[in-house]
Amino acid sequence: MIKQAIIPLAGLGTRLLPITSVFAKELLPINGKPGIEYILDECIEAGIKEIILIISNKKEIIRKYFYNDKFYQSIIKKKKDPRIIKEYKKILFYKKKIKFVYQNKPLGTGDAVLKTKKFIKNKYFLMLLPDDLIMKKNCSKDMIKIHKKHKASIMASLKVNKNNVDRWGIFSIAKTLDKDNFKISDVIEKPKTKDAPSNNAVIGRYILNKDIFNFLKNQKKGKGGEIHITDAIRKMIFEKYFFIGHKFTGKYLDCGTMNGYIKSGIEISKL
Ligand code: G1P
């Protein structure tokens, strides 16, 4: 059963500087709605009961977004505006499902995951990276279904342009399970084009076995001096853990760069 999700939000967001020097990119509106809410909605609709948000003391603004009750209550008392009441109810609904964990040093996604170790209850959990929006089809929900069938770890995947492989984790396929699912034989974090085993990229949805915490404990820093989840996954694959690459069918939007962010708003407005 997959009932918990984690969302790493403590990154510095350097790809979106200068705005991220003072603001959390995950709260930036995409077609009028903060990016993080798309991710929360996907989790909740997929049946997730508890969502762990990994923030840092520099990103307290994210906690504040969900814990601004006094402010809402006083405005609602004065204005009785149905729109504001509706927005506040939505925040209260999210608040029942979320919990905060801190990663104060930006040491990478692998380190962020390790911070949630003592809160994960079941053998498998879901992780969503907030830069990656997948619209029209709930990717997390589909991955949970595939997990039930194969009892494996799963990563969302997409074929990318060979010249851009150094933006992603790239995996190679051991065998095809069905038209959308592949058994993975290796994964490399942001390889150069000449070193990439394929152009199958990992997109930010993962179902992970909690044994990953044991691998992360000893995980050395990799590319850019960060502890990467991809490097721990690679070790697990070499230790015969079953990882599936799932070619998702929804519409992918990369909000982690300024161009992608701008395009995402336009694309969502057209859906
Ligand atoms: C992370 C992962 C990378 C993955 C990507 C998906 O990179 O490290 O393997 O392909 O997310 O968005 P980041 O976006 O944090 O640089």
The per-residue pLDDT for range 26-45, each reduced to its tens digit, is: 999 999 999 999 999 999 99
How many C-beta atoms lie closer than 10 Å to residue 91's C-beta? Answer: 15
The tokens describing 132, both together, are 């990656």
Question: What's residue 209's pLDDT?
Answer: 98
Atom of ligand 1 minimally distant from the CA of 11? 15
In whole angstroms, what is the distance from residue 270 CA to residue 262 CA? 13
Cα angle 95-100-104, degrees, rounded to a multiple of 5: 150
For the chain, domain boundaries? 4-270
Q: Whose CA is nearest to atom 11 of ligand 1?
A: 204
| Binding site membership of 261 for ligand 1 (Cβ less than 6 Å) | no
Atom of ligand 1 minimally distant from the CA of 108? 15
Question: What's residue 270's pLDDT?
Answer: 96
DSSP of 126-186: EEE-TTEEEESS-HHHHHHHHHHHH--EEEEEEE--GGGGGGSEEEEEEEEEETTEEEEEE
Question: What's residue 9's pLDDT?
Answer: 98
Whole-model pTM above 0.75?
yes
Question: What's residue 61's pLDDT?
Answer: 97
- Condensed to tens digits (0 to 9), the pLDDT of residues 142-201 reads 999 999 999 999 999 999 999 999 999 999 999 999 999 999 999 999 999 999 999 999
DSSP state of 13: -
| Binding site membership of 226 for ligand 1 (Cβ less than 6 Å) | no
**Looking at the domain that runs over 4-270, which CATH code has it been given?**
3.90.550.10
- Condensed to tens digits (0 to 9), the pLDDT of residues 206-216 reads 999 999 999 99
| Binding site membership of 103 for ligand 1 (Cβ less than 6 Å) | no
Q: Is the dihedral of CA 35, 11, 208, 3 positive or negative?
A: negative
Between the alpha carbon of residue 203 and those of residues 90, 100, 144, 206, 269, the distances in Å are 28, 23, 16, 8, 22
- Condensed to tens digits (0 to 9), the pLDDT of residues 82-120 reads 999 999 999 999 999 999 999 999 999 999 999 999 999
